[in-house]
Structure 1
């Protein structure tokens, strides 16, 4: 079953970021439920912030689940990454992610590593950076397994990282890290930039894919760009893929409209097979 989710950011510094709903969690949950989403994906400033929210109450009230929790605030607010040349900074990054893994696991949800993977620089060459990232993913994957969940690693496009840009490169990294508890997050916006064929990349990655960011070529809601989603839906159906297709899109022209466009596209593509 492919389930629908929609992103909610509670990070003030991400006000201009690609999240459908911003800041008002109760209103976002109410809107998500009314439109028929199964879950929300949460982008919060920290694990402590997540635990201070009335999150369980809101999810229960609206019949929603938590699809995943992002860790990107560690980069956005604190400039932390897993391949920082400073060992102390790497440890801070790993602890920040570990805390969010534990907080998300309380809701049977995974944590996402995207921007916190970092990039290689003149101070840390690519081989070294990938080795540091692989080792961190192994430890964090073990942390997720012990918490009863998985960890999601997201390949990003070339303008956001110079480590892993494609699902194939992501699969190679997962093989190197050696943890069965780390899965790939396939973001269709990044894939539209980097993959020769999104559908074929998904087929090739297969069971390594644990989560999808359901969004169009321009980072707007699915259906507002130029991606042809039909072969993507066919590939997922061929794989008998189960997971969340989560709308991580700009709130354009506004949050409500972006959410409506997203759920309408999801229903057209996956609603029948996911009923």
Structure 2
């Protein structure tokens, strides 16, 4: 079964980013439930920024799940990445993500590594940088395994990262890891930029996909741009995907309209 999810960001520094709801956690949860979503994906400043008992109370009240937790605040607020040339910064990045993994695991939710993967620095060595990424994913994959969840790695488009930009590149990289507890995030916005054929890429790399981000061609809510979602939905069904499709999209033209557009598209193809 495929499940729907909105996104709620509680990090002021990323307020201009592609998330449906902002700042008010209770209101975002309530609105998500009223529209019929199955869960929420959450972005917090840190693992200890939110009382897990409070979150559990609100999720249980509205019969929602926590679909995933984002780690991007580690880079935005603290400047941490897994591929920084400074080993102390890499160590801090691993510690930050480990704490986010532990927080999400309380709800059976995986953590996402997106922007915290970093980049090959100017004049940096690509192989060395990928080696640092591998070391980080190896350790964090096992941390997640010990907590009973998997870890999600997100290939980003070329304008956000010069590491691994496609599902194929991500799959090939995961195949080199000793840990088998890392899965890919198929983000339709990034894929729209990098993939030749989105459905074919999903079919070819389906065994590694553990999470999906819904966004249309302009990163607005799915169904508001020119991405043909029908074949994508069929591809997800064909690989027997059984996770969340989460609306990481700009709240265009506003949060309520974006959430409504997303759930209508979800219900059209998955209900």
Shorter-chain TM-score bucket reads over 0.9
| Of 127-136 and 43-52, the range deviating more from structure 2 | 43-52
SS in 1 for 2:8: strand
SS in 2 for 1:199: helix
Matched, 1:169 2:169: yes
The alignment's C-alpha RMSD in Å is 0.9
Count of aligned positions: 271
Deviation, structure 1 residue 94: 0.6
State the distance in 2 between where 1:53 and 1:113 align. Answer: 24
Contact 1:191 1:198 in 2 (8 A): yes
Deviation, structure 1 residue 52: 5.7
Deviation, structure 1 residue 239: 1.2
* Aligned match of 1:188: 188
Q: Aligned runs of 1:1-275 on 2, under 5 Å?
A: 1-51=1-51, 54-122=54-122, 124-271=124-271
> Which blocks of at least 5 consecutive residues in structure 2 are unaligned?
none
State the distance in 1 between where 2:125 and 2:177 align. Answer: 18
Contact 1:216 1:224 in 2 (8 A): yes
Contact 1:85 1:123 in 2 (8 A): no
| Of 101-110 and 237-246, the range deviating more from structure 2 | 237-246
Deviation, structure 1 residue 123: 5.2
Deviation, structure 1 residue 176: 1.6
Contact 1:112 1:152 in 2 (8 A): yes
State the distance in 2 between where 1:26 and 1:96 align. Answer: 25
State the distance in 1 between where 2:53 and 2:113 align. Answer: 22
State TM-score, norm by structure 1.
Answer: 0.97
State TM-score, norm by structure 2.
Answer: 0.98
Deviation, structure 1 residue 51: 3.4
Summarize deviations over 1:21-42 as a string: whole Å, max 9, x none. 0010000000000000000000
State the distance in 1 between where 2:177 and 2:225 align. Answer: 35
State the distance in 2 between where 1:86 and 1:50 align. Answer: 29
Summarize deviations over 1:97-119 as a string: whole Å, max 9, x none. 00000000000000000000000
SS in 2 for 1:55: helix
Deviation, structure 1 residue 238: 1.3
State the distance in 1 between where 2:242 and 2:180 align. Answer: 17
Misfit runs of 4+, over 4 Å: none
Contact 1:109 1:149 in 2 (8 A): yes
Contact 1:50 1:103 in 2 (8 A): no
